[in-house]
Copies of this chain bind each other. A is one copy, B any other.
Amino acid sequence: MNIDARLEELALTLPPAPPKGGVYKPVVIIGNVAYVSGHGPYLGEAGYLCGRLGADLGLEDGKHAARQTGLALLATLKSELGSLNRVKRVIKLLGMVNSTGDFEDHPKVINGCSELFAEVWGDENGIGARSAVGMGSLPGNIAVEIEGIFELNA
């Protein structure tokens, strides 16, 4: 499967790869495994989707933010690897939701990213292990932060 063609078929537009917000590398590769730094819902020039689930953001806002975070992860992978065709599959995601103490729907929020990856790579390769949890706060008050581990093609 050609993933770049697949993105076009799905009419998906990637944002620019997000600028670094600290002292880290966007992606570190060891063997056939790529560790990708925590990403937020980056829109490009318009900045990040911000806010807190359970307070100023509803479930659909959160799911949309997670999908946008997925697009930002794809943008970084493409930028760092040269082509998304180098990615074989998703190994694991850690989905972190900016949420109030009584928020309970973190999995539904992070599904916004997981469903995107399933569209892009298919269910077998696009869906990995996952945790979806609620954070006390996130950098710049972004709505969602997701980090990932991906397997690369040999």
**Interface residues, chain A, with chain B CB atoms under 8 Å away:** 21-28, 30, 33, 35-38, 52, 54, 90-94, 96, 99-108, 110-111, 114-115, 118, 127-141, 145, 147, 149, 151
User: Per a CB cutoff under 8 Å, which of B21, B91, B108 touches A22?
Assistant: B108
Is the CB–CB distance between B35 and A137 below 8 Å? no
Decide: A138 near B145, CB < 8 A? Known: A23-B111, A24-B114, A107-B21: no
How far apart are the CA atoms of A115 and B25 in the complex, in Å? Answer: 12
Nearest-CB distance from A152 to chain B (Å)? 11
Is the CB–CB distance between B106 and A137 below 8 Å? yes
Is the CB–CB distance between B25 and A127 below 8 Å? yes
Nearest-CB distance from A97 to chain B (Å)? 8
How far apart are the CA atoms of A25 and B91 in the complex, in Å? Answer: 9
Closest B residue to A36 using CB positions: B129
Is the CB–CB distance between A35 and B91 below 8 Å? yes
**Lowest 3 CB-CB distances: which A-B pairs, in order?**
A38-B131, A134-B137, A22-B107
Contacts of A33 in B (CB 8 A): 30
Nearest-CB distance from A124 to chain B (Å)? 9
Is the CB–CB distance between B28 and A114 below 8 Å? no
Is the CB–CB distance between A139 and B105 below 8 Å? yes
Task: Give 11 A-B contacts (CB < 8 Å), ordered by A residue.
Answer: A22-B114, A23-B111, A23-B130, A24-B129, A28-B129, A104-B140, A105-B139, A106-B137, A133-B135, A133-B145, A134-B137
Is the CB–CB distance between A139 and B106 below 8 Å? yes
